[in-house]
Amino acid sequence: MNRTVALNAIGITAILVAAAAVWSADRAPATQRNPQFENAHVKVWKSTIVPNAPLPLHRHEHGRVIIALQGGTMKIEDQSGTSETHVWETGKAYWLPSNPPNTMHRDINVGDRPIEVMVVEVEDDN
């Protein structure tokens, strides 16, 4: 009897593990922003921007360094539709200044693979 219970438990566990693997493989990565560190001097976050899933409109009051963990082509579009395109190479760092007053922008991955960046925003850049 105990052997039957143990075999059933192993079978159920195997089915659950296989289902979880299939479910996670089918899930597409999502555009997201994950905080990493913050103090009075800097804010650091990791962003993943998947194709056709831009970050919502936002702004940066301070300049920032972008480190491309997985590079690609990013279009930065302001609320008026004006845009600029940046090609970020994996492993390289780039400087982006603060946004002009009263503007917002969104980041659009115009490539075919997710872009991952670590962002270090300088809080005391006076």
pLDDT of residue 70: 98
DSSP string of 3-46, one letter each residue: HHHHHHHHHHHHHHHHHHHHHHHHSPP--EEEEEEE-SSEEEEE
What's the rounded mean pLDDT across residues 84-108?
96
CATH number attached to the domain at 32-122: 2.60.120.10
- Whole-number average pLDDT of the chain: 85
pLDDT of residue 52: 87
Q: For residue range 64-80, list pLDDT tens digits in order.
A: 999 999 999 999 999 99
Cβ–Cβ under 8 Å, residues 36 and 118: yes
Q: What pLDDT band is residue 84 in, cutting at 50, 70 and 90?
A: very high
Q: For residue range 3-56, list pLDDT tens digits in order.
A: 665 455 464 554 545 445 444 445 567 899 999 999 999 999 999 999 989 889
Instruction: Provide the residue ranges of all domains of the chain, joining segments of one domain with +.
Output: 32-122
Q: Which of 55, 49, 62 is nearest to 105 (CA)?
A: 55
pTM, 2 dp: 0.74
Q: For residue range 25-36, list pLDDT tens digits in order.
A: 455 678 999 999
C-alpha span between 88 and 118 (Å, rounded): 12
pLDDT of residue 5: 53
